[in-house]
A and B are shown apart, each in its own frame.
Chain A
C-alpha cells in the first residue's frame, strides 16, 4: 500500500512537472553518453567508431524517452484521456446521432431532476432548524382512516401540557394580517403561533427576542402584545433600522410592539409558507375581534400542531403516548359530554408523525399527482435509455470492422469496452449537464402550473446536494443502461468471422438482431403506456372543463373587501356595499355587479341543517348574496323573484333555493311561497322561498353541485362581514381594483386595499393538479412518440445499410422493388406489433393507478386506447417507410460492385 502511495506521489509529481521530468531524462542520458564517449576515447577507439558505438548502444533518443516516460505515467488515467479524446472525435463524426442522443437524455434526465427537485422541496428537505429529526406533526384520527391535521385550541392546550416525551408542543396557523402604514393598510402574510413555537424551533433571532411562553398567556403578555418580524419585513418596512425593537405596529387594528427580528433562513414550520409576522396565540381574540377562533373553542379546527421530542424519545414512543392519552385529554378540555361520547364511539385518538420536514397542507393535495408525474418522468428516461442503447447497438454492428481491427492489433476487450463506455458516458454527462441547466427554469414553470395562483407559495426547488446526487445517479444509471449492453455485444463474437465477412454477414445479422429488436419492442410498449396515460388524463381534463360549473366564469372579476376589521357595521356596512356596487357598475366595461360572501371554489363552506316535510334532515350549503347575483354569474333563474336591497333585517326572512335543494326541501310542489325551517340546535329560523335557480358547483369543479340555499346579504346574522364584489365585464378589467379602492376612500376613509382575482383564474386554478398532469403527460407522450420514431428509424436505417449488397443481389436475382420495400418494412412492423401488444397489456394494468385522477373517464376508455394505438402505428409506419423506400431505390449493380 505504502509502495503504491509512494509511486502515486512520484507519478503525480512527474505529471505536474512534465517538462522538468523530460529535461532530467534527457540530461541523465546525455551524461551517460558523455561518460561512455570519454571512456571509449581513453581506450583509444577512433572518434568515428565512438559515434557509431554510442548510437548502436542507445538507439533513437525518442524511443528511449518513451520507454522511461511510460514508467512514470498513470497508465489507466492517460488511457482514459486518450479514450475520451477518441470518443469525442467519433461522436463529432456523426453529429446527427450525437445531437439526438444528447437531446433525448437531456429531456429524460432534465425532466426527472426537475420533478425530483420539486419532490425535494415539497417532501424531503428538512426544516432549517437544529435537530429537525426531533420534530413531529400531530393529528387526530377516528374510524375514518383519513388523518385530520387541524386541531382546535382546547385540544392543543391539552396536548401542550403533556411534556413526558416532548420538550415543547406548539401550534401555528397562517393568517393574512392587515398592517397599517403611512400609505394605507397593507396585507401581510403572518402566522399566529403558540408560546412553544420559537422555543421548539430553536433558531436564535437576528435582533431582540423571540416570542416565549410568557407571551402566550390569556390576555397576552402584561407588558403588551409583541410581534416578531422577518428579516424581509424588517428590510421592507423599517429599512433595516437598528432601533426597530420597541417600535409599534398596528396589526388588524391592534397595537403591537416589535420584540424581535428573525433571520432570513427561518421560515417557521411550514416549508411553503414564508410568513413575515409572528404573533402569539393569546392575541388572536384581540386581532380577530368578535369572530375569533379561540372563543369558538372546540368547534373551530384551525391549528397545525407540532412538537419537539426529548432527544431520547423515539417516534413510536411519542405516537403511543399521545394515542394513549387521547381520552384523558378529551375529558380534560372538552366541556361537552355528548361530543366526547360521539368521538369515543368512533375511536378518536391523537397521532404523531415524523415532522422533520415540517407540515404543509399542500402536501396532502399534491403528493400523489407529483408522484404520478415522477413515474412518467422515469418512464421517459427509461425510454430514452432504451432508445440510445438500441441506436448504439445498431452503430456497434456498423462499427464491427473497426473494433475487430483494433482487437487484431492487440487491444484487449477491456480496453475496447472502456472506450465504448466512455462514449456513452460522454453522451450521458453532456445530456445530464444540459438537463440540469434547463431544470430550474422548467421547475419554476411546473410549480407555477401546479400550484397556480391559489396559494401564496414558496416552493423552494433550488438544486441542493440531494438534487445533484440524484442527477448524478440518474446520469450514471443512464450511461450504464445505454452503454453496457451495446459495448458487451459489440466486443463479443469471434474476431476472424467479423473480419472476414465484413458487410454481408446476413446470418450473423439475423442472430445478433434479436436483442435490439426486443429493446425496440420494449420501447414501443413503454411509449404506448405513456400515450395511453396522457390520453386518459387529457380526456378527463376535457370532460372536467365541459362539465361546466353551473355559472359562466368568463369575464367575471372578484374584488375581495376586508371589512371585518373595520368600524362599519350592520346597515351602514350594507350601505357601503350598495354604494360600492353602484359605483362599480358605472365603470367602463362593467355589465353587472353583485356581492357574495363565498365565491365558488374558494375552499370555504357554510352549511346548515334543514328538515324536509318528511322529517329527514338535509345538510344544505348556504351563501349570502346581494341582488343580481344570479344574473351576474349567469346562473339561470327558473321561477320566483330575485333579492332586493329592501330585504333587510327588519323584513321577513327570504331564501332562494337551487333546483336540487328545492327538490329535497319542497318536493312535489311549486316551491315559491312555501316556508322552510333551519334548525341550529334548539334554535329554528323560518324562511320564505322566493325563487328557484339553477344548480351551480360550490366547493370545486370535480364535485357535483350540492343543494344550496341563498340568503340576502341584508339579512346576514353577522354584524360585519367581508364580501366579494362579483363584477361581470366585457374584457379589460385591470383598473377595477384601483377604482374600487378610490370609491371606498370616497365612502369611508382608511379601508384596506381590496384584492382582485378573476373567476376564470379561480376555475382554472381549481383544476391545477389535473391541468398540470394532463399537460405534462401530453408533453411526455409527444416526446415519447418522437423518441420512439427516431429509434425505429435509426435502427432500421443502420440495419438496412448493412444489407445493401444482400439487397442488391436479391434485386439482381429478380426481386421487385415493392418486395424489397415490404421486406424492410416488415422488420419494424413485427417489432411495433410485439411492442404494442405487450404495451397494451401493461397499459391496461397500469392505468388503474390513474383512477383517482380521472373525472368521468374509465381507466379502460376504448377511444383513448384505440387512439393511442393508432398514433403509435402511424409513427412507427412513418419511421419505417423511409428506410424501406431507400432500400427499394438501391441500384443492384452499384450495390454489388461496392463490395
Chain B
C-alpha cells in the first residue's frame, strides 16, 4: 500500500478532482454537444437532425444580433477590468497608508453575489426612486429622470459599467500578485541607469507580468463572454434586445421555446468562440516572447 502510494501519489491525489471534473464539466459539455444534433425537448422528443441546428444559426437573426452585442460587451468589460484593475493594483502595490483596508474594500464587489449586485444597481438606477437620478437632479446635472436601464442608447453602457465594477477585483488581485513577484532590484538598477517610471513600467513591469496577464485575460474574457445573471436581472436582454447577450438568447431558446437542440448548438458555437479567444491570446503573448 505504501509503495503504491509512493509510486502513484500524484495520480491518487489528482484522480478525485479529475473524476469530479469529468462528471460535472466534461459530461455535461459532451451531453450539450450531443443534444445539439437533435430537435429535442429532453423529455419525449428526440428527432435526429444532424447539422440542421448549426446551419439554421447562419440565418438566425436573434443569435447573430446577440453575438454582435456580446462582442461589444466583452471588449468594453474586459478592457475596463484591465484598466481599472491594473491602475488599482499598481497603487495597492505601493507602500501607502491603509493599504490593507483599501485592499479589503476594493475586493468587496467581487465578494457580493451577482444577483445581489444586480438588484442593488437596479434600485440605484431606478428612474422613479433611484438614488442616482435623485442625486444628479439635486446637483442640477439632470433635468428629468433618466431611464439608465430602459433607454436603448444607455442600457448597454450602463450594464457594461456595472459589469466592470463587479469584475475588476479579479484582475486587480491577479495583477497585484504578479507585481509582487517582480524583483525590486530591477527597478533599482533601472533607476540608477536613469530610467523614468513610465519606461520602467513598460520595459520591466509589463514584460514580467505578461504570463499572469495572459491567464487573467483568458479567464476574464471567457467568464464574461458567457455572463447571464446580472444582465437578465438588470434588463432581461432589453430594451429592444440591445443588451441581449448570447447567454440570454440561449436561455430563452431553451427554456421559453423548449428548443434544447438549437440552444445546444448555440452553446457549442460559444464554446468554440471562447476557445479561439484563448488561442489568439496565447499566440499573441508567445509571439511577443519570441
State whether these chains interact: no
